[in-house]
Structure 1
Amino acid sequence: MGQSIAEELEPLFNPKSVAVIGATNNWSKWGYSTFTSVLDGFRGPVYPVNNKEGEILGYKAYARVTEIPGPVDLAVFVIPAASVAPVMDDCVTKGVKAAVIITAGFAETGEEGKKLQDEVLRIARKGGIRFIGPNCMGFWSASSELRAFMFPLPVKDGPLAFVSQGGNVGGAVVTSGYMRGIGFHHYVSCGCAADIQIEDYIEYFGEDPQVKVILAYVEGLADGIRFLEKVKKVTPKKPVIVLKPGKTDAAAKAITSHSGALAGSDEAYEAAFRSIGITRVESPEELLDVAIGFITQPLPRGRNIAILTPGGSYGVLCAEACASEGLNVVKLPDKVIAALDKVFPPRWSRGNPVDPAGDRNFVTFLTAPGKLLKVDEVDSLIFMGFGGFSIFAALFLSADAEHPDGVASWVPSRERFRELAIAFTKAVRSRDTKEIGKAIHPIVSGAASIMGIYNEEEVAELTQLVAAAIASGRLNAPVLVSAFLPPDSPLLAEMGIKNPPTPQEAIARFLVAIAEQWVEDYKKPVLTTTFFTEDQPRLRGSHYAYPSGKQAARVLVKLVEYKEYLESIGLYKN
């Protein structure tokens, strides 16, 4: 019986030792940056191989792989294409188990390059060596802290895995993910994929319990049937998101010259992907947008959407984006309209999108989502502009910097604060949401009164929402309160907080906890947005604010389509 894919690729993703063939002291060559990348984090022995230099960056260099005294699991090739085949033969002799060939000049260059690539493949298979490439930018494996890149990339561990047929696209997505706060457990720039195919990586990622969502950039496939057979076993277990260019003749020609792959009919790809549950996207940015959606949100039960917006125009744009994607901006039941009539000014939109028409009632903004999400007809919520609500922090700041006893203006006195703190501590230890609610109600009520909000029903509703977030551990109330105390307040020392967050940061953390709590309470997607596409939001906990309603709508429809696929094969569980 043959090895499983996990066993076959174990030496590649979890090598105990690495040789970098072509490592050099010359910083202007790829061998230098590749060697330094491998040294950055990898825990096992790293051997530089160079037949002209005796020592590289303080490491003894070897003229040939066969001269290395210890065993070598993985060889990284950064040498001219013509030299790869004979050195691969040395690797077979040495007993190397896996390789990554960063070197270009193979099938992507034409017939002669293809012959050279076939020879390298023949030699590698003779020795049972599985390899990435050629013509690639390397790979990353968090399980071994191995950065076998041709140049350093910012990357961290996380729930995603990514295989890319294009090195530039792959590097850009990984870097953007790092900037957004999302990590990759594995990333492979597969290049020409002479040996290990894209579907092999997807199969491997599918069996890795650390990987929750799989991404792929595909220009062409060597064996479409094999791809479909392997990937259709993965999609029922976890989402597979694919970016596949080639809809135009110009793109198809560019694909052939870039990776040596045949683009194939886009219509055939679209139908095949849909038949096995692949989620297809249109851009590198959308790869990450949708991946984050799968990680942070439950699957929607259907296509009915509610939209909450602090301004009518953005609500209009979001509604149009949702409708364009096949989502239904659902008509709200009369009972919901009546409930919102009680808390919003008479000028509010009285429909979906829900637009309070300039109302500054922060409390109502945070209780309105619950009124919408509890409605059976609503499957998902998009909350426009939620990412910008930290501006409300200014409303909570003390109007008097010399407030008596060094407490915030919305806390009656230092003694009263201590009483509240004692009651709160006792309630948190009990993990009882009702008791926590009783303890924090005076604080929530005091904060609301600053904004002239005295609707006790709304304050009570917000209190219970905040209490649930505290009970779940999503919200650290002492840290939140500390942001609004004067810097010299003795209460900070009593609370054991040396570096309180800024008010804006505290409100941002508070909003994240509340958004996560909505998802937990109602088991429905809640996608929030900022207002500008040039914003670079970061993943906070399990919450991410998308830069626009259009992006949020695109993510939601992809989640719906995956749910519909699972439903069609009998695997969706409501």
Structure 2
Amino acid sequence: MVQSIVEELEPLFNPKSVAVVGATTNWNKWGYSTFTSALNGFRGPVYPINNKESEILGHKAFARVTDIPDAVDLAIIVIPSTGVAAVMEDCVAKGVKAAVIISAGFAEIGKEGKRLQDEVLSIARKGNIRFIGPNCMGFWSASSDLRGFMFPLPVKDGPLAFVSQGGNVGGAVVTSGFMRGVGFHRYVSCGCAADIQIEDYIEYFGEDPEVKVILAYIEGLVDGRRFLDKVKKVTPTKPVIVLKPGKTDAAAKAITSHSGALAGSDEAYEAAFKSIGVTRVESPEELLDVAIGFLTQPLPEGRNVAILTPGGSYGILCAEACATEGLEVVKLPDRVIAALDKVFPPRWSHGNPIDPAGDRNLLTYLTAPGKLLKVDEIDSLIFMGFSGFSIYTSLFVSRESGEGAPWISSREAFREVAKEFTRAVSLKDTVKIGQTILPIVSGMASRMGIYHEEDVSELTEIIAAAIVSGRLRVPFLVSAFLPPGSEALAEMGVKTPPTANEASAHFLVAMAEQWVASYKKPVLTTTFFTVDQPRLEGTHYAYPSGRHAARVLIKMVEYKEYLDVSQK
């Protein structure tokens, strides 16, 4: 009976027991870090295999896999390549179901290494053992909390899955994801991919309900037609993002010596990827940037983009980046210009990019996205400098001053408002919440020169919707308007109030998420420098420049266009 890919790889990603062949107490060897990595989190037994040591880190060591008295599902092999074939014979005899060969010295070194690799593959197939590698850095499976790495990597569970022919690229992307707050449900450093091919992993990830976006770093493929046939069944339901080097002769030569793969014609790869809806990117950073875009944004309905910028020069750079990528910096409809005239000073750009010409009034910025996103002519919005406003602390009353917001005239008054507000939140009553916070928003707006009731009402509705959805956490919002040590904060259960900047940053994140939810259009935000990249909070991530945002947006547009054509 033919097994599905999910059944075939189940022992690999969800083993009940693991043996580490080459485990050692010598911390200067990969066997040490591989063994300690496997011990970190995995819920089943981990057996060290070493024919010279009787005990390793408190665990009884066995000379051979066949000496283990209990069943073994997975073997992680980290010994010199010349000994791997004999270990694989033992694994077949023991009934091991899957393996990871971290050891190098196979197809990547030439003919002799390829001969050895073929021998190991032949032995594994006798026992129906599916394996990762050789010449890889291991793998991570969140469902079994198994870190089968040759050295520790910071990982967390999440909606991404990644297969990489380059261990260093893979490790860097996974680590960067961890730093940004986005996790991987599966990660595989596949190395030479002697047995399980890249397309097999992609097929498996496509069947995994926990995986939403699939990433791959590919140096070369064994069977291009097989890759196309398998991956084209995945792309209609999940984005597949690929980083594929090899555009130059220098890169092609390096690929052969690194993984033993044949780079192939770059033009052929480009055409093949486009034909099956694979999204191709140019760098490890972009691989993760685009993945986060797919995770956090709806697919745009077209190429028309609006750019909202606190500075004309950055708006120009973003517009050029958008046009270069094939996006349309759309002409603003007259009705949108008229609406923006009500909130921006007369000197604003009156065009796209929307530049208020030095106005740093945050509330006017918060009313502008709704006016842009509600019109059919605009498919997406790039909001620049999103975390760089200089008036955060002037918007949220200064804690140092000890002053509270004007609507909190006394503890008793706050208690009454808090009761009414809490009741509305518990009932998820958007209208009632809006009525409760309207005086707050109106007060903030009037102090910043916004007097049009329609603008205040629209902003209030968005804030209320963000509260009901849970995107805007009430303590973060309310604490920004109260003086330090306020008893009112304690009554709301806020023991350690966030700072004014923390509260305002949370508020902005909630607004960005709510615009996306309310208007069903992409809202990509940016900072101005790479070093400003914030962690992912909720479903928000700010890109470091307009160019980054434009690159992400065009990849989403192209994927949507592929889906539209393929589904006709």
Normalised by the length of structure 2, the TM-score is 0.98
Is the CA contact (8 Å cut-off) linking 1:136 and 1:192 kept in structure 2? Answer: yes
Q: 2:526 maps to which residue?
A: 529
Shift of 1:326: 0.2
Question: Comparing 532-541 with 235-244, which one deviates more in the overlay?
Answer: 532-541
Deviation of the 1:297 alpha carbon: 0.5
Alpha-carbon distance in structure 2 between the residues aligned to 1:522 and 1:221: 41
2:387 aligned counterpart, secondary structure: helix
Q: Do structure 1's residue 488 and structure 2's residue 522 form an aligned pair?
A: no
Residue 443 of structure 1: how far off its partner (Å)? 1.6
The count of residues paired between Structure 1 and Structure 2 equals 568
CA contact (8 A) 1:103 1:136 kept: yes
* 1:74–1:98 contact (8 Å) kept in structure 2: yes
Q: 2:227 is matched with which residue?
A: 227
Read off the aligned partner of 2:509 and give its amino acid letter: V
- State the SS of the aligned residue for 1:9: helix
Q: What is residue 359 of structure 2 aligned with on the other side?
A: 359
Q: Is the 8 A contact 1:390 1:504 kept in 2?
A: no
Q: Where do residues 499-510 of structure 1 align in structure 2 (5 Å cutoff)?
A: 499-510=496-507
Deviation at 1:97, TM superposition (A): 0.4
Query: Mapping of 1:64-83 within 5 angstroms?
Result: 64-83=64-83
The 1:328–1:68 alpha-carbon spacing in structure 2 relative to 1, beyond 3 Å, is same
Match of 2:514 in 1: 517
Q: Check if 1:467 corresponds to 2:461.
A: no
Deviation per CA, 1:329-386: give whole Å up to 9, x if none: 0001111111111211110000000001111222111010000001101000000011
- 1:447 is aligned to 444
Partners of 2:550 and 2:309 in 1: CA distance: 14
Given the superposition, is the C-alpha separation of residues 70 and 318 from structure 1 closer, same or farther in structure 2, using an over 3 Å criterion? same
1: CA distance, partners of 2:49 / 2:40? 18
The worse-fitting range, judged by mean Cα deviation, of 446-455 and 271-280 is: 446-455
Cα displacement (A) at 1:505: 1.0
The within-5 A match list for 1:132-531 is 132-389=132-389, 391-398=391-398, 401-403=401-403, 407-408=404-405, 411-531=408-528
Task: Check 1:411–1:54 CA distance in 2 against 1; reply closer, same or farther (3 A cut).
Answer: same
Amino acid at match of 1:211: V
Instruction: Return the match for 2:552 from 547, 555, 560.
Output: 555
Are residue 567 (structure 1) and residue 564 (structure 2) matched? yes
Corresponding residue SS for 1:170: helix
**Higher mean Cα deviation, 485-494 or 190-199?**
485-494
Equivalent position SS for 2:454: helix
Q: Distance in 1 between matches of 2:154 and 2:398?
A: 41
Alpha-carbon distance in 2 for matches of 1:317, 1:233: 38
Distance 1:8 1:390, change over 3 A: farther
Deviates more, 1:232-241 or 1:425-434: 425-434
**How far off its partner does 1:570 sit?**
1.3
Indicate if the aligned counterparts of 1:437 and 1:464 stay in contact, CA closer than 8 A.
yes
**How far did residue 237 of structure 1 move?**
1.2
Q: Is 2:307–2:319's contact at 8 Å kept on the other side of the alignment?
A: yes
Select between 494-503 and 131-140 the one with higher mean Cα deviation: 494-503
Does structure 2 conserve the Cα–Cα contact (< 8 Å) formed by 1:47 and 1:61? yes
Alignment partners' CA distance in 1, 2:200 and 2:426: 49
Query: Does the CA-based 8 Å contact 1:395-1:450 persist in structure 2?
Result: no
Q: TM-score, normalised by structure 1?
A: 0.97
Instruction: For 2:139 and 2:325, locate their aligned partners in 1 and report how far apart those are by CA, in whole Å.
Output: 35
Distance 1:386 1:182, change over 3 A: same
Structure 2, unaligned runs of 5 or more: none
Contact 1:15 1:73 in 2 (8 A): yes
Alpha-carbon distance in 2 for matches of 1:270, 1:331: 33
CA contact 2:471–2:510 (8 Å) conserved in 1:
yes
Shift of 1:391: 4.8
Report the residue type matching 1:119 in the other structure.
E
- Rounded to whole Å, the distance in 2 between the matches of 1:448 and 1:500 is 24
TM-superposed deviation, 1:452: 4.7
Residue 453 and residue 342 in structure 1: after superposition, are their counterparts in 2 closer, same or farther (change >3 A)?
A: closer
Cα deviation code 1:147-172 (max 9, x no counterpart)? 00000000100000000000010000
Equivalent position amino acid for 2:123 in 1: I
Residue type of the alignment partner of 2:46: V
Alpha-carbon deviation of 1:521? Answer: 0.9
Q: Note the alpha carbon deviations across 1:49-89, whole angstroms, 9 max, x for none.
A: 00000000010000011000110000000100000001110
Greater shift, 90-99 or 470-479, is seen at 470-479
| 8 Å Cα contact 1:398-1:409 kept in structure 2 | no
Q: Shift of the alpha carbon at 1:539?
A: 1.1
Per-residue deviation, 1:433:
1.6
Distance 1:277 1:512, change over 3 A: same
Secondary structure in 2 matching 1:388 = coil
Deviations 1:514-571 (CA, angstroms, capped at 9, x unpaired): 1111111111000000010233321111111111110100001000000011011117
Structure-2 separation of matches of 1:118 and 1:159: 35
SS in structure 2 of the partner of residue 301 of structure 1: coil
* One-letter identity of the residue aligned with 2:248: T
1:540 counterpart letter in structure 2: E
Q: Distance in 2 between matches of 1:461 and 1:281?
A: 38
* Amino acid across the alignment from 1:6: V
**Structure 2 residue 112 is matched with structure 1 residue 115:** no
Q: Distance in 2 between matches of 1:402 and 1:427?
A: 29
Q: Distance in 2 between matches of 1:434 and 1:258?
A: 61
Q: Which runs of 4+ in 1 moved over 6 A?
A: none
For the residue of structure 1 that corresponds to 2:19, the secondary structure is: strand
Shift of 1:481: 1.2
Distance in 1 between residues matched to 2:362 and 2:21, nearest whole Å: 61
Of the structure 1 ranges 496-505 and 154-163, higher mean CA displacement relative to structure 2 is found in 496-505
Alpha-carbon distance, 1:394 to partner: 3.7
Secondary structure of the equivalent of 1:497? coil
| 384-393 or 109-118: bigger deviation | 384-393
| 1:403-457 Cα deviation digits (max 9, x unpaired) | 4xxx445633333222221221222233222211111111222233444544433
In structure 2, what is the Cα distance between the partners aligned to 1:266 and 1:287? Answer: 18
Judge conservation of contact 1:420–1:440 (CA < 8 Å) in 2: no
Q: Which amino acid aligns with 1:216?
A: A
Larger deviation, residues 382-391 vs 268-277: 382-391
Q: Which moved more, 1:150-159 or 1:437-446?
A: 437-446
Answer yes or no: is the 8 Å Cα contact 1:410–1:447 preserved in 2: no
The runs of 5 or more residues in structure 1 that have no matched partner are none
Percent of residue pairs bearing the same amino acid type: 79
**Stretch moving more, 460-469 or 200-209:** 460-469
Whether the aligned pair in 2 keeps the contact of 1:104 and 1:136 (CA below 8 Å) is yes
Query: Does residue 1:542 correspond to 2:539, yes or no?
Result: yes
User: Aligned-residue CA RMSD in angstroms?
Assistant: 1.4
User: Structure 1 residues 284, 156: CA separation in 2 closer, same or farther (over 3 Å shift)?
Assistant: same
Shift of the 416–456 alpha-carbon distance from structure 1 to 2, 3 Å rule, reads farther
